[in-house]
Each structure stands twice: as structure tokens, then as C-alpha cells.
Structure 1
Amino acid sequence: MEGYVTVPGGRIWYEVQGRYSKMKPFITIHGGPGVPHNYLETISALSDERPVVFYDQLGCGRSERPSDRSLWRVDRFVEEIECLRKELGFSTIHLLGQSWGTILACEYSVKYPSFVESLVLSGPAMSITRFESDARKLVETLSDHSQSAIKRAESIGNFNGESYHSAISEFYGKYVCRVKPWPQCMKEAVAGMGEEVYNYMYGPSEFTVTGVLKDFDCTPHLENITVPVLLTCGEFDEATPETTRYYSSKFPNATMRIFEGASHEHHLEKAKEYIEAVRRFLKDVE
């Protein structure tokens, strides 16, 4: 089943996979901002026992793309989830946030705690300040040519050069998705990306943060989230194991899983192990 739901600022596309059952529904929240749901497709494996919901946030993918920067706010994106929950008639939900989606999952849980059964937070990015700091350290592991290209681009404020994009490719190949070539679902997500949203809210790349999220940090709120939480990251994740462990310590009821040999898209790189871990977590919660 798929359709559109009206949210503040426009309409967003959604799809529900699997049948309604006694098992609580699972809503997935993609990253970016502005990178649509496609790359989360492996999570559909959980639809054999519960409804799994995918959607594209406003400004990307199959959703409407208004040109109004006042819409690109964390609180408005949180309301998208609530509009979706109401539209689908779910009383309570499990939430999965990936990357930027972990911010939305946490902020939703703080605002609407009575509707949330549990959280799965993959490649967590609840503090953009910390996320950027980790990324800058990882940049130091890149080739000298890439490091020089990044410094040069940032010094003049021009991020359109071939050398800067080559540096992005090297970084992403090590710390975002280590599968070569990238899976088709990743390519589809990039093709459907809302670049205006990403650039305005985040910046030109994962390691050059210039957007309005630059100083965002929701970690002071994490102690208020009392539902069970599963945090996951890859061994080579840009959301580093050290930082993921830090986030885990802030929740009253959290567990953590690191996937060896994987990076930010560990749900793709270690799909079988990831699905098994999430499935087990959800069953334990229920």
C-alpha cells in the first residue's frame, strides 16, 4: 500500500509493506537531510511479521519539493512522523532512525512519548557538533591529495571542483558505504536526493558542515527517552563506535551493537546480521 499524506508545507509519499498483525508497526526514518528512503530497502525483510513503513521526507524522493527554506526545520520534520502515524491509524509504533533520521526519532519520542514502543538508532547523529568533529578526524586518514583538495575548497568556499568531489568519493567509500560498486538502492537514493535541503541544513559534504544544523545537539534530551533503545554502528562508521557508545550511555534503557568491517550503511553491508539483530530486539521489546 502506498499513498500521500498532507504534512506542514506539502505532501509526502509513503509505502507500507507487510500485513497488519498483532506485531507493532515499524516506521523507518531516512537520513540526509534529503536522502530518500530507497537505501533502506533491506529493512523490508521485517515485513514478514509486521507492517514496515517507508516514506520520503518533504523535499526529496517522491515527495513534494517546495522551495521554502522556512520549512527545513527539525520540529516540522518531526510533525511529518506524527501526520503519518495518524494517517495510518497506528496507536503505537516502533521507530527506526538512520543517520539524520536518528535526530527525528529522538525528538519525536520526546514530544510524543506515549506513541513510541522502542527506538532503533543506526549510524546515530544526535549531535551534529560531535558528528562533524568525528568526520574531521576521519578526513585525516584520507590521501594527501584529498586532504589538500578539501582544505583548498573550504578556504575559498567553492565546493564544485573535481578534486573536492574526488575527496568526497574517497571518504564515502571508506566511511559511508564500503560496498563496491554501490548497491542499486544507494544509487537510487542519490538520484532522488533533495540537494537543496541537504545543502541548506547540513552542507556540501559529510565533513564540511555549513548548514543550519551545524550546532544542533539533542543529547541533553536523551535521558527523557525511557523506552528500549538499540543503537547500531559499523566498525568504520562515520558515526564512530566511540560516539555511539557515548550516546548509548545517555539513555536509561539502551543496548548497542557494532558491526565489524562495516560503515555507516551497515544495514546494507551486513544485511543478514543487521536484520537478525533488529528482529530480536523488537521481539524482546514486545
Structure 2
Amino acid sequence: MRISRRSFLSATASAAVLPALPAFAADDPAVPRPDQEHRVPVQGGEVYVRINGDLESGKTPLMLVHGGPGGACWQMFPALPFAADRAIILYDQLDSGRSSAPGDPANWTIERFASEIDAIRLALDLHQIHLLGHSWGGILVANHVSGQLSGISSVILQGAPMSARGWASSMDELLAGMPDGQGRLISAPTPGDAPEKTGAAFGTFMETHLNRTRSPAYARAYMRDVPTDRGDALAAAAMGDGIPRMTGFLRDFDQEPLLSRMTQPTLLLGGEYDLVTPATNRALLPRLQKGSLVTLADAGHMAQFDQPDAWRQAVGDFIARAD
């Protein structure tokens, strides 16, 4: 069973003139409109970039890389209050959100997606940044950062599986912990299983480990003007079934060796109930030269929505120490 952007929503470098977003109602402070919007050329097309805050504030900007594959930058809107202090840079990856969508599988590699970070940094003249990668975005950030000797003040890898092996370990742990044999319905379904029971088990899994709160109202608003299947083909190609195993082009990926090449202060951030379990993160920690670990209580994979205040506290404290 695949974690697609649409099932998630259902379950719970020149400036461009782009459609205005409506006012947002959310538990967090109202989401501000971007101070700048750009379309940045990348290999394969253009990506949509939005900036809140002042790039000339004197504080190192924070760039956040959304998950998926096939997600969009609304997933990182809980970071926008940081714009009172420093520039916050968000973008939609190719074939995702408001970026161009050529739908060409030749573009669907970790290295090409990671190269979008380079293109945005060049277009915006970002000599020094903090980087946060969430989930799949963490895979891209690790790929980018491992080859950088300067220009990165700190790195946050949030809920980021660094290998297919690590993902499988997390899935095995989480499914084994489901009550009443529900994990077996997901991991090893049989023809005799009632579809409604399997569907209910999967729903319980998602509500426990993906997003323990309802999707924010601005998620649908942000995606209103893009095709309803935007990102789904990419997600299927990358993850295949996803649970309990990745069966797409990520089925054998392993970026754990990259962690030892990262010289920047690096935070492994996750939720207590994250899809990437605290145990999986703890196993990665010794690979980092300057690593630390924070686990947010009562939060799942989308910790920025489940526990937004605690999430901002953890992120804000970490990047402030690295400034």
C-alpha cells in the first residue's frame, strides 16, 4: 500500500505572476502570503519557489525540502513564523505542487532532485543556509550536503529514511506493534482477508504514524489549482507499494554512508510514532560527526502538524545554536 499525497489529504529564477492563495484558517498563526515568488529553471523544467522574510536580514536563511516524493511545500508551512527573524525558502519539486510537471521518468532520480537545491541556491545567491529535509526531502538534503565543504550552517533530517533497509526496519517494528493482528493484514494479506478489515487496518496505521491530526485547511487550498493526480505517478515510481517495503526505484537505495561525510551540525528529528522510528534514528546517530537526536512526544511523521509548537521549538533552538 502506497502513501500517496492524495491519500494523505483524504485521510486526515525570475519572478513570476502566480495565482494568489486565499486567506488561511489554521491552528497556527495565519499563513502569510509569500514576500517573493520565483520560477527557477532546473534540469527537466522549472520549480516554484516562495520566500517569506528578508534575505538581507543578516540571519542565515532556512530552506526546507518537502517530502513525498510528489508532495508539495505546503507541508512545511508551519515553519513560516520563523520569517519574522530570517528568510524562509520553500519550493515544490519537479512534477509536484505548482512546479512544472513533464512527467518524464528520466528525471526521477535522487541526484537530479537533489540538484534542484543547487539550482535554487544559485538563482537566489544563497551562500550560506540552514537546510531541513523532511522524509524524502531528507534523502535529497543528505545527497546535497554530503558533497558540500562550506555554505551549510546546519542540517535537519526529519523523519528521513536513509536506506531502504532502514525503512523496512521501521515498518517491521511499527506493524508488529499494531494490536489485534492488524499489522499482519497490511504486511502479509491473504485472499481470505476481508477488504474492509484490511482497509481499516491501513487507516489505523496512517492515523497513528503518518499524521495524528487532520490535514490543515491550507493543504487543499494550496493544491486547488493543480491536477488532482499531481505527484502520484512519481510517488508510485519511487516507492511502489511503500508499506511494508519500497518496491519502486527506491527499493535498494542506501544513503547511510553519506552521513559520515557530513561535517555540519546535524539533527535527526522525528516523532514518537514516526514512520521512521526513534530506534531507526538512534541507529543512524553514530554515523554523524556532529549529530544530535530529538524525538517529539505524541507526534507522527508529520510532526510539524501534530505538535507545531514543539516542532518549531526544536528547529528554532537547533538553527540558533548553529548561527
Same fold (TM over 0.5): yes
Letter matched to residue 284 of structure 1? R
Pairing 1:109–2:145 present: yes
* Corresponding residue number in structure 1 for 2:306: 269
Is the 8 Å Cα contact of residues 10 and 58 (structure 1) preserved in structure 2? yes
Is the 8 Å Cα contact of residues 39 and 188 (structure 1) preserved in structure 2? no
Percentage of matched positions with identical amino acids: 28
* Corresponding residue number in structure 2 for 1:174: 208
With over 3 angstroms needed to count, the CA separation of the structure-2 counterparts of 1:135 and 1:188, relative to structure 1, is farther
SS in 2 for 1:199: helix
* Corresponding residue number in structure 1 for 2:118: 82
Is the 8 Å Cα contact of residues 239 and 247 (structure 2) preserved in structure 1? yes
Letter matched to residue 183 of structure 1? P
With over 3 angstroms needed to count, the CA separation of the structure-2 counterparts of 1:149 and 1:120, relative to structure 1, is closer
Give the Cα–Cα distance (whole angstroms) in 1 for the partners of residues 183 and 163 of structure 2. 26
The offset of 1:178, in angstroms, is 0.8
Unaligned 5+ segments in structure 1 are 156-160
Give the Cα–Cα distance (whole angstroms) in 2 for the partners of residues 206 and 43 of structure 1. 28
Give the Cα–Cα distance (whole angstroms) in 1 for the partners of residues 182 and 311 of structure 2. 35
The offset of 1:182, in angstroms, is 2.9
State which drifts further: 137-146 or 31-40: 137-146
With over 3 angstroms needed to count, the CA separation of the structure-2 counterparts of 1:37 and 1:80, relative to structure 1, is same
The offset of 1:136, in angstroms, is 2.9
Pairing 1:19–2:60 present: no
Number of equivalenced pairs: 279
SS in 2 for 1:215: coil
SS in 1 for 2:38: strand
The offset of 1:66, in angstroms, is 1.2
Task: Please list the CA deviations of residues 222-280 of structure 1 after superposition, one character each: whole Å capped at 9, or x if unmatched.
Answer: 11101111111111111111111122221010111111111111121111111112111
Give the Cα–Cα distance (whole angstroms) in 1 for the partners of residues 62 and 137 of structure 2. 14
1:18-167 alignment runs, 5 A limit: 18-20=53-55, 21-142=57-178, 143-144=180-181, 147-148=184-185, 151-152=188-189, 165-167=199-201
The offset of 1:215, in angstroms, is 1.2
Letter matched to residue 83 of structure 2? S
1:193-232 alignment runs, 5 A limit: 193-232=230-269
Give the Cα–Cα distance (whole angstroms) in 2 for the partners of residues 168 and 182 of structure 1. 17
Give the Cα–Cα distance (whole angstroms) in 2 for the partners of residues 117 and 135 of structure 1. 32
Task: Please list the CA deviations of residues 47-86 of structure 1 after superposition, one character each: whole Å capped at 9, or x if unmatched.
Answer: 1111101101101110111121111001101110000011
Is the 8 Å Cα contact of residues 12 and 62 (structure 1) preserved in structure 2? yes
Is the 8 Å Cα contact of residues 117 and 227 (structure 1) preserved in structure 2? yes
With over 3 angstroms needed to count, the CA separation of the structure-2 counterparts of 1:271 and 1:86, relative to structure 1, is same
With over 3 angstroms needed to count, the CA separation of the structure-2 counterparts of 1:167 and 1:195, relative to structure 1, is farther
Q: Which has the larger share of helix? A: 1
With over 3 angstroms needed to count, the CA separation of the structure-2 counterparts of 1:117 and 1:12, relative to structure 1, is same
The offset of 1:164, in angstroms, is 5.2
Pairing 1:7–2:45 present: no
Letter matched to residue 291 of structure 2? A
CA RMSD of aligned residues (A): 2.1
Give the Cα–Cα distance (whole angstroms) in 1 for the partners of residues 208 and 153 of structure 2. 34
Is the 8 Å Cα contact of residues 168 and 205 (structure 1) preserved in structure 2? no
Letter matched to residue 169 of structure 1? G
Task: Please list the CA deviations of residues 107-136 of structure 1 after superposition, one character each: whole Å capped at 9, or x if unmatched.
Answer: 101123322111011112111221122113
